[in-house]
Structure 1
Amino acid sequence: MKEPYEKPLIKKVQVGLSNKFGSVYGRHLRPEIDGVPISDLVSRFGSPLFVFSERRLREKYRQIYQMFSTRYPNVQFSWSYKTNYLDAICAILHQEGETAEVVSEFEYEKARRLGVPGSEIIFNGPYKPLSALKTAVQEGAIINIDHFDEIYDLEEIAEELGQPIKVGIRLNMDTGISPQWTRFGFNLESGQALDAAKRLVSGGKLILNGLHCHLGTFLLEPRAYAKAIEKMVDFAYELEDNFDLKIEYLDIGGGFPSRNRLKGIYLSPEVAVPPLEDFAEAICDTLLSKLKPNDFPKLILETGRAIVDEAGFLITTVHASKRLPDGTRSYVVDAGVNILFTAFWYNFKIELEEDISGPAEPCVIYGPLCMNIDVVAENVQLPPLPRGTRLIFSPVGAYNVTQWMQFIRYRPAVVLVGEDGQVDVIREAENLNDVVDRERLPERLILKKS
C-alpha cells in the first residue's frame, strides 16, 4: 500500500534542546502496565481504555499514611468519593483502613451500598437535602455544617428524633493562598465562624465537636496547611474555653497535588510539585507545637488526588493525522475530553507503546468529538505516528471517571490490574441500552416502520 502523498513543508523544528520552559524532549515508552502488555489489554478490552494499578494505589496510600502516622499519633484518612467513586477503587482504600468522605446523597448511598457503615462516613458539602441529613444522623455519620440554613435543618431533625446531634462546622480562612474558597463554610476572620458556634450552643440541640476545612485543590504550598492548622487549633481552644466544648477532631480536608502538571507550569512535576513529606511535616509539626500537653484530637485527611491519580492510565489509539493550515501536525485519537475531562487543566505525560523512528515535532492531539474544544494535548513533541499507534496518558486516576460524560460517544471500559497481574473489568464499556434504558417515548411519537 502506497503512503499517502503529503505536500512538502519547511518548518523549523527544535528537538533535544533546552529551552526557557526547562523541558528537554525525550521519547517516553510504556509497553506494559504492571507487567501486562498494552497490546493484550487493548485486544481484550478495546480502545480507549482506562487502566488502574492496584499495586500503585495501595503503595501510595501506605506511603502517605506512614508520612502522617509517624509524625502524629491520632490520624484517620477518609476517602474522597468525588475523586473516584468506582466500587473497586473505594473498596481497596476501605480495605486499607480509610473511612468514606462524601458530598452528596448519591455518594452516601454508594458508600453504604458498598458496605461502609454510616458511622464511618463523613458527610460534607453545601447541599444536603433534609431526608439525606436525617438518614446520616440516624446512622451516626459525621456531619460538617456548611451554612446557617443547615443548622436549622439539623435542629429540626434533632427535635423530631428527640436527641442532640454531634456536628462539626466547616471553616474558610486566609492562609496566604489565592483564590480563597470562601463559598464553603463559615469565615474565620470575619467572626462568622464564631457566630455559627454561638448559634449552635444557644440552640441547645446540636453539640459542636469538630472543625473542618478544605483550602482548595492541587495546592503547591505546604505552609498554607500549616497556617490552617494553626488557626484551627487556636479557634478550637477559643471554643472550648468560652463554651465548655470539646473539639474531638480537626479535619484538614484534601487538596494535595499529584505528580501531574498544571497547564501554565512549565517545570516538570519533579521540580514544581513539593514532596508529600513536606505537607505531612508542615501539618504535623504545627499541630504538635500548638496543642496543649496530652491533647491529641483526631487529625482527619480527605486526600484524594494524591493517592489515586498516579494509579490511573488511559490507553488511546491514533485514528488519523493531518496538517493544520499553519503547518502543525495534528492527530485524532479515540479518547476525548468527554472521558478525559481533566485535560482542560493538565498537561499529561504521554508515552508510546513502542519506539517509532523519525524526527519529533510539536503536535496537537484531538479527540473524536465533533466539537472544537476536544483537545486532549497541545504542543507535545512526537515523532510521525502511524495510524493505529497507541498512546498512554498518565496520571489520570483522579476525577476523570467521576467527571466524564456520555456525550457523542459511549464511555469505555475500566480495568484493574491486580497485584498478582490478574486483570479485572471494574466498569463495563457502555452500549446503547445504557443510554436509552431510562428514556420513554410517548406512543404518539413512535415512528411508523416503512
Structure 2
Amino acid sequence: MQLTNIVVNQSISPEIEMPLSWTRLFYLEKEYGDSFFILDIKKFESNYQEFLQAFRAIYPNTHLGYSYKTNYIPKLCQSVNFMGGYAEVVSQMEYDLAIAIGVPPSRIIFNGPLKYSEDIERAILAGSIVNLDCLEEVDIVTALARRLPDQQIAVGLRCNLDVVGIGRISRFGFDVEGGALDDVFKVFRELNNCSVLGLHCHISSPTRSVESYKLRTQKLIELSDYYFQEKPPQFIDVGGGFFGKMNDDLKAQFDCYIPSYQEYAEAIAPQLKSRFPGNYTPELIVEPGVAVVADVLKFVAKVVGMKTVQSRQIALVVGSIHNIKPTLTGKELSLQVYRSEENSDHKNISPPVDLVGYTCMEHDCLYNNYSGQIGIGDYVVFDNIGAYTVVFKPPFIRPNPPIISYDSTLNEYDLIRRRETTKDVFSTYVI
C-alpha cells in the first residue's frame, strides 16, 4: 500500500460572516420551508486548513482524516477530498459514500468496532487503511492472507492505551498493558504476506485536554519504537476528539479549558519531529471531526406559536433539540432572533421565554429563559451545531429539514439536501 502525500496549496482566507436578516430569512423560507440548516462551506475549508497548517508548521508530513461520522454531508466530504484529506469512516455505509463521491480507496481510513468480513476484505484489497479493533478482525485478516498467499496484506492496529483524564476503561482497540497488542503482532509475524503499517489510537476524553494528547502521542511513539525496530511505521494515527471553535457564551458553560488548534498541534507534532528527525518520517494522521465542523452549521427555525402557562412564557419553534444539540444536553447554544421591523402586529410575550420544539416530549426545550423580545413570525438562528446534529437526527414526529449551503465568495445559497418527505421515511417499510 502506498500512502501518497497530496498537498493542496490553499491559503487560509479571512472568514466573511454570513449575512442574515429577517428579510433574507423570509425569502429563504419561501424557497426552502420554515426550518432549515445553513452550511458555511468556506468556513469549513478555512477551519480545515488552519487545523492542518498548525500541525504541518511543526511536522510537515501531517495529513488529516476527516471524521465522516461527525457530519457526513456529502458536500463537506467532497471538499475534504479536494483538499487532499483522508476519509475517516467507521461503517460500510460511510465507506460507500466516500467511494461514491470519488475518494480513491487509498485515501480511506476504515476504523470502528464493527466491520464484517466482506467489508474488511474489500477495503484491504482496494488499498484502504484498515485499522483492526479486535481479535475477530485479526482472524478475518489471517484467513484472507492464507486464502491469498500471493497477495500482500497490510493493516493498521488500534491501540487501547491508558490515557489520563478518561475516567473509564475504553472498550476500543487492543489492550496494550494486557498483552493483546503483542499477541496480534506475533500472529502477523507468522504470516509471510501480512504486515502492520502503523498504529492508531482514538480515545474520547471528557476534557479533551492537551495533556491527554501529549501522553497518547508519547505512548504511540514508544510502541512504534518497540514494534518497528528495523524501520519506523508508515503512519502514526493519533485519532480525533479535539474541541472545535465555539462562541464565548458556549465556551463558558464547559468546566474545563478549551484548547486551540495551535495548542493541540504543539502537544503532538513536536514529539514526532524530535523522534524522527531524518529523511524518513512516518506520516502523522490526525482525525478531526468536531474540531473543524462544529461552527460551520446554523439551524433556522420560525416562531409559530406563543403561550403563557401559569408563570411560564413559551414560544413554539419549527425545530427540536434533535436538530441542534443531540450531544450537548444541559448547555444553551448561541442563538440570534431576527425580527421584522414592519410586522408590529404579531403576538409578543415578555421575557424570559422558553423556546420549545415540535415534539411531544416535555424535555424538548431548545433554549431556556431567553431574555430578549420574541414573537410569532420571528426567526431563531442557532449556531455551533455542525457536529453530530445532522447524523444523529431521527425522523421523530417530523421528517428531516433541508440543508442549504452558503458560499461567501459568491454570496449564494444552494440546496444540498432536500426536505425529507413522508415517502422517504416509510420507503423501507413493508406495507
TM-score by length of 1: 0.83
- Which of residues 216, 223, 240 is equivalent to 1:228? 216
Deviation per CA, 1:224-282, whole angstroms, max 9, x where unpaired? 111111000011010123xx56411001111111234899x872679942211100111
Single out whichever of 289-298 and 177-186 deviates more from structure 2: 289-298
For the pair 1:352 / 2:337, whether they are aligned, the reply is yes
For 2:293, the aligned partner's letter is V
Answer yes or no: is the 8 Å Cα contact 1:239–1:245 preserved in 2. no
For the pair 1:129 / 2:113, whether they are aligned, the reply is no
Residue 185 (structure 1) aligns with:
173
Residue 409 (structure 1) aligns with:
398
Q: 1:57 to 1:279 in 2, by over 3 A?
A: same
Residue 9 (structure 1) aligns with:
none
Shift of 1:351: 1.1
Single out whichever of 35-44 and 144-153 deviates more from structure 2: 35-44
Residue 197 (structure 1) aligns with:
185
Partner SS for 2:284: strand
> If you compute each CA radius of gyration, which structure gives the higher value, 1 or 2?
1
Identity %: 28
Residue 283 (structure 2) aligns with:
298
Answer yes or no: is the 8 Å Cα contact 1:171–1:212 preserved in 2. yes
Answer yes or no: is the 8 Å Cα contact 1:359–1:384 preserved in 2. yes
Answer yes or no: is the 8 Å Cα contact 1:104–1:128 preserved in 2. yes
Residue 156 (structure 2) aligns with:
168
- Which of residues 395, 403, 411 is equivalent to 1:421? 411
Partner SS for 2:294: helix
Cα distance in structure 1, aligned partners of 2:63 and 2:260: 20
Cα distance in structure 2, aligned partners of 1:39 and 1:217: 41
Cα distance in structure 1, aligned partners of 2:243 and 2:327: 14
For 2:42, the aligned partner's letter is R
Cα distance in structure 2, aligned partners of 1:31 and 1:56: 10
Residue 89 (structure 1) aligns with:
76
Q: 1:189 to 1:391 in 2, by over 3 A?
A: same
Partner SS for 1:315: strand
Q: 1:246 to 1:70 in 2, by over 3 A?
A: closer
For 1:174, the aligned partner's letter is D
Answer yes or no: is the 8 Å Cα contact 2:132–2:157 preserved in 1. yes
Cα distance in structure 1, aligned partners of 2:20 and 2:188: 52
Deviation per CA, 1:396-419, whole angstroms, max 9, x where unpaired? 111111111111111111000123
Answer yes or no: is the 8 Å Cα contact 1:32–1:38 preserved in 2. no
Cα distance in structure 2, aligned partners of 1:288 and 1:34: 48
Residue 321 (structure 1) aligns with:
306
Matches for 1:36-75 after TM superposition, within 5 Å = 37-75=24-62
Residue 310 (structure 1) aligns with:
295
Q: 1:36 to 1:381 in 2, by over 3 A?
A: closer
Answer yes or no: is the 8 Å Cα contact 1:73–1:296 preserved in 2. no
Shift of 1:391: 0.8
Single out whichever of 268-277 and 41-50 deviates more from structure 2: 268-277
Cα distance in structure 2, aligned partners of 1:345 and 1:159: 52
Residue 78 (structure 1) aligns with:
65
- Which of residues 319, 322, 325 is equivalent to 1:335? 319
Cα distance in structure 1, aligned partners of 2:169 and 2:402: 35
Residue 17 (structure 1) aligns with:
none
For 2:27, the aligned partner's letter is D
Answer yes or no: is the 8 Å Cα contact 2:62–2:283 preserved in 1. yes
Cα distance in structure 1, aligned partners of 2:364 and 2:38: 22
Partner SS for 1:85: coil
For the pair 1:256 / 2:246, whether they are aligned, the reply is no
Partner SS for 1:199: helix
Partner SS for 2:213: helix
Answer yes or no: is the 8 Å Cα contact 1:230–1:290 preserved in 2. no
Shift of 1:40: 2.8
- Which of residues 261, 279, 283 is equivalent to 2:264? 279
Partner SS for 2:139: helix
Residue 356 (structure 2) aligns with:
366
Q: CA RMSD in A?
A: 2.8
For the pair 1:110 / 2:97, whether they are aligned, the reply is yes
Answer yes or no: is the 8 Å Cα contact 1:168–1:211 preserved in 2. yes
TM-score by length of 2: 0.87
For 1:410, the aligned partner's letter is P
Deviation per CA, 1:148-167, whole angstroms, max 9, x where unpaired? 11000011122223323111
Q: 1:60 to 1:31 in 2, by over 3 A?
A: closer
Q: 1:390 to 1:152 in 2, by over 3 A?
A: same
Single out whichever of 33-42 and 274-283 deviates more from structure 2: 33-42
Q: 1:322 to 1:34 in 2, by over 3 A?
A: closer
Residue 11 (structure 2) aligns with:
none
Cα distance in structure 2, aligned partners of 1:271 and 1:192: 33
For the pair 1:238 / 2:226, whether they are aligned, the reply is yes
Shift of 1:205: 4.5
Answer yes or no: is the 8 Å Cα contact 1:181–1:216 preserved in 2. no
Shift of 1:66: 1.0
Answer yes or no: is the 8 Å Cα contact 1:208–1:245 preserved in 2. no
Shift of 1:189: 2.7
Shift of 1:293: 4.2
Cα distance in structure 2, aligned partners of 1:237 and 1:84: 35
Shift of 1:393: 0.5
Shift of 1:354: 3.9
Residue 10 (structure 1) aligns with:
none
For structure 2, the residue ranges without an aligned partner over 5 or more in a row are: 1-16
Answer yes or no: is the 8 Å Cα contact 1:260–1:347 preserved in 2. no
Partner SS for 1:278: helix
- Which of residues 130, 133, 157 is equivalent to 1:143? 130
For the pair 1:288 / 2:256, whether they are aligned, the reply is no
Cα distance in structure 2, aligned partners of 1:57 and 1:34: 22
For structure 1, the residue ranges without an aligned partner over 5 or more in a row are: 1-29, 442-450
